[in-house]
Every structure is written in C-alpha cells, then in structure tokens.
Structure 1
Amino acid sequence: MSNENSIELDPKRIPTARDVLSTLGQPRIAPYVDFFKCATDEAALGAYFWGQAIASAFQPCLGMYEVALRNAIHVAASRFSSKQSSHSHPWYDYTRQDSLPLRGKTREKVTALLFSGSPPVRLASQPSPDSVVAALSFGFWPSFLAGLTRPQQSRIFTDTFHGNPNSKPAHWSNTDNVASLLSTLKEIQDLRNAVAHLEPIWKPHRLKIKATHWSHSVASLRQKHAAMIQVMAWCCPASAAAVEHSYANRIFKSICSTDAVQAFMHNPFDAGEMSLFALGPGGARRVAAVQQPAANEAA
C-alpha cells in the first residue's frame, strides 16, 4: 500500500555525524562529549551509538534474570507458606492465614490483581498463583524479600538462593548477609529500570562509582552483568549456564569492551555493523577500519 506522505530514503547515502547530532540536540549529546572526551562529531555520535548498543546488550540477561529470580522466590515462598505441601501456593493472598507479609506498594500490586473496583471487590474467579507471579513487576520482588520477618528470610532465602555455597538458615539469619544481597538486587533493579527507560546506563552516578575515564564505566558494567549471572546461578544454575554460553552473552562481552567503545567512536556507522571489532580467543579486539576488496572477496 503506497503512502504519498512517506519519505523514501536513499540506501546508498550515509548521513554525516553532524546531520544526526543536530537532530539529537546539544543537551542530549553534551554528556557524551564530556565523559568520552569526544574531539570530533564522529566520536560523539559513536559514543552515543555505543550507549544504545550496551543498553540493548543487557536485555537478554536481564530478561532471563527476572524470570529465574521471581520463579525461585515464588517456589520458596510457596513451600514456606504451604508447609512444604505445594510449589505454587497463594502466599501473597493477605486474606489467608498462611499468607506472607505485604506492605505498601507490594500489597497494592497484589490487590490490583485479586480485586476490582472502588471500594475493591474480590474477583469471583481468582487468578492462579503462577498468573499472579507473572503479572507482578520486577520491583516487587526485592521489596517483598525485604519485608519478610527475620525467621521467614532465613528459610525463604535459603530455598531461593540454594546455589549459594553459604545458603543455610544460619547464614541468612545474619542481617548483614541479607542486606548485602538485597543491595545487589536493588542495584540490578535500578539498572533494569534505566535500560527500560532508555537512560544512559554508563553514567558514573548511576553505577555508583568514581570514574576518571570512561573505561571505568565499561568495567563496572561488566561487573553488573557478572553479578546478575551470579545471582541467577544461585537461583537456577541451568539458566545462568544458558546465559553464559549464549550468543547474546558473546555479543555483550564484545560490546562491553574498551575496544568496542573506540571502534564506535572511530566510525559510528561501520561499528554498528561490527566491522571494526570482533570477538577473538582473548576477547574483543580491534580490526582494520578499512577493508580491502580482495580481502572481502576472499572472505
């Protein structure tokens, strides 16, 4: 179907970096120029494109992490609430005597799934526990874990993070151990929200680091990714192993590298096709910016 108002783009015309930067605007691009020390328009646009690429590269791991974490918590909470009789129990239903504590926004989120109207009336047909768990937001889970009593935390954390070598009730009875893990979960939640809202995830204040060079942010982002896989391994070793061996993980390691940043800044358009860097045995490495026709034909 034709559209007389549509714009036909010339596939052979590559826009200049200045063309794109003028559209993005100075306020949006200035933080990139300052932090990445961009001396040219190409470098500025390359830094911006790298920021998009690294945020996108986090998505597969974040998606697997969220599902693995919520399902592990659900099973552990179900076992605790049902006295080990069920792996999928309505532990969240605060009208039941065997429910687990929900406060504030976590309680409001459950209410929205079990009730309707104002004042709220309980739905005649209640959603299954698995349906409720799937509908709850990412931010629900750290808040739920933080709101448990200490005895509940010691048992539910032990079951949820069973892959942790120290995962025993005595370990999770220690408030410092619980606080450390909850802090990690909250940091991952903040990163996930930044990715979802298309915010620059490389900024030092967001990563809670002191960075004098952009390479520090690259290293911190790698650490965040590794932390996700570590927590996932504690919840579901198979999911963590799948991520470790996935194509998406190889792409992440290639993009989350100093070589990739330099490649994008050297030539933002070719870097987008990954013609400036490749993943070798030792990690991401820079390759020639100019490709000779003979080499292309040989490939």
Structure 2
Amino acid sequence: MNSSAENQDDEHAALKGVLSTERLATYVGWAGGDKARALELYALNTALSEALYTPLQMLEVALRNRFHTTLSAAYGLFWFDAPDFLKVGHQVEQVQKAKELLTEQGKPLEPGRIVAALTFGFWTALLNTVYEDLWRSTLHQAMQPDARDEKGRGLSRKSLTRPLTPLRELRNRVAHHEPILEWNLPKHHANIVRITGWLSPAAKAWTHARSRFLSVYPAQPIALAKQDAQGCP
C-alpha cells in the first residue's frame, strides 16, 4: 500500500470515530467501498447542503410571512386562535407549545412571536386538502397575482403542494446533516426559486444574488453506486 492510500485509510478511520460508522456507511456504499471516494462524497454532500441552506431559508421565511400577512388581513392577527380554523392536529399542538414556551420565557404572546416559532411543516400543512376552501377564498392571495406554474397556468393549491412536499423533507435532511446526493437537487433548487418568486419577486432576486448552489453543483452527474431503492424524489 502506498503512502497516499495509507493516509486516506487513516483519515477514514479517524473520521469514523467522529462521524460514526452508520453515517459514513451511506457514502461508502455510494463509493462502492472506495474509502477516499466516500470522503469526497461526504464533503460534496456537506457543500451542497450548505449551498441549499440560503434559498431554503428564504423560501421558508417568505412562505411564513406571506401566509401570516394574508391570513391576518382576512381573519385578524390571531387567526390561528379562531375556533376550528386549524384542522390538522400537529398545527394546533405547535401553536400551544409556542405559547407555553413564550410564557415560560416571560415574553408576551404576540402574534409575531408565535408564528416565528412555527415550523415549515406548519405552513405547508395549510395547503393540505382540508384547506382547499381556505385556499380558494383567501390563501391564494399570498401569491403574486401574475404567478404562473411551469406550464403557464394560474396557480392552484396543488401547484404548491407537489413541489413543497419533497422540499419539506429536503429542508429537514439539510437541517439534520443527512445524505441528499441521491436527490434530484437541480430540480428542487429550481422549485425553491420558482415558489419564492410566486411569493415575492424581491425575495427571488435576493436568492438569485446569494445562492451558491449552481456554482457548487458538479457540471457532471454525481456517480453513485446503486444501493437499496429509497424512492428519493
């Protein structure tokens, strides 16, 4: 074994103690057992996760604030407290937990503080089937009036749920440092930018100016050895 290979094995062995065998196993599998390649893939996964963080963050903040502003105008600042307004169990629980935490911290139960504590999943759940009437009557107003889907059609609730459902999972995988290389990341990045533009052209322009994803994503397809199918979007 040459010194370069020995150094790579030493690096892999040292990182196993920090990253855990289980975390590295996915990358070793993708690399077909090549330990040096596995570490390269891990580094690429980290770089792409970092590059996606900025556009994902803007999407989440824009969605939250546009939805909150629209619903506040129609139903008042405490729209989430209206009887039977929230129809999904975890949404009700999140609002209650946010209030409890603010009370414990001695902070006032202001609408802005409460909504800031609600997760991306809370906001995307407002696009569930049970909220179809809300979308038609009110929530569609959170989108730009001239917003069109990729086929040039006016937006429906499903125009958002189709791309946002996998984006919610991708956001969570990025936040928890999980593997994302098997995902169709260029497609999802394009959806992030598109939906952000539907919400706010200014937010889309800000994302375009600061997102590093297109410069970080490799020009050539990422070669991954086949593993058990996981149904990654």
Q: TM-score, normalised by structure 1?
A: 0.61
Whole-angstrom distance in 2 between the partners of 1:109 and 1:27: 32
Q: 1:77 maps to which residue?
A: 71
Shift of 1:56: 1.5
Kept in 2: contact 1:146–1:182 (CA 8 A): yes
**Rg: which structure is higher?**
1
Aligned counterpart in structure 2 of residue 45 of structure 1, from 27, 32, 39? 39
**1:139 partnered with 2:130:** no
Gaps of 5+ in 1: 1-14, 83-88, 208-219, 263-299
Aligned counterpart in structure 1 of residue 99 of structure 2, from 104, 111, 114? 114
**1:165 partnered with 2:152:** no
Whole-angstrom distance in 1 between the partners of 2:24 and 2:219: 20
Whole-angstrom distance in 1 between the partners of 2:166 and 2:117: 22
Q: 2:226 maps to which residue?
A: none
Shift of 1:54: 1.1
More helix by share: 2
Whole-angstrom distance in 1 between the partners of 2:119 and 2:27: 31
Task: Summarize the Cα distance change of 1:28–1:133 in structure 2 as closer, same or farther, 3 Å threshold.
Answer: closer
The aligned amino acid for 1:45 is L
Whole-angstrom distance in 2 between the partners of 1:53 and 1:149: 37
Shift of 1:69: 0.8
Whole-angstrom distance in 2 between the partners of 1:259 and 1:103: 42
**1:60 partnered with 2:54:** yes
Whole-angstrom distance in 2 between the partners of 1:145 and 1:52: 31
Aligned counterpart in structure 2 of residue 184 of structure 1, from 138, 159, 163? 163
RMSD: 3.0
Kept in 1: contact 2:52–2:213 (CA 8 A): yes
Aligned counterpart in structure 1 of residue 206 of structure 2, from 242, 257, 280? 242
Kept in 2: contact 1:58–1:252 (CA 8 A): yes
CA deviation profile, 1:157-212 (whole Å, cap 9, x unmatched): 3211225237xxx956xxxx423421311211100100111110123xxx3xxxxx
Kept in 2: contact 1:73–1:156 (CA 8 A): no
Task: Summarize the Cα distance change of 1:30–1:103 in structure 2 as closer, same or farther, 3 Å threshold.
Answer: closer
Task: Kindly indicate whether structure 1 or structure 2 has the higher relative contact order, using CA contacts under 8 Å at least 6 residues apart.
Answer: 2
Gaps of 5+ in 2: 1-5, 224-233
Shift of 1:140: 0.6
Q: TM-score, normalised by structure 2?
A: 0.76
Kept in 1: contact 2:12–2:36 (CA 8 A): no
Number of residue-to-residue matches in the alignment:
207
**1:197 partnered with 2:139:** no
Identity within the alignment, %: 27
1:275-290 matched pairs, under 5 angstroms: none
Whole-angstrom distance in 1 between the partners of 2:209 and 2:100: 42
CA deviation profile, 1:31-52 (whole Å, cap 9, x unmatched): 32433446x4432221121111
Kept in 2: contact 1:145–1:153 (CA 8 A): yes
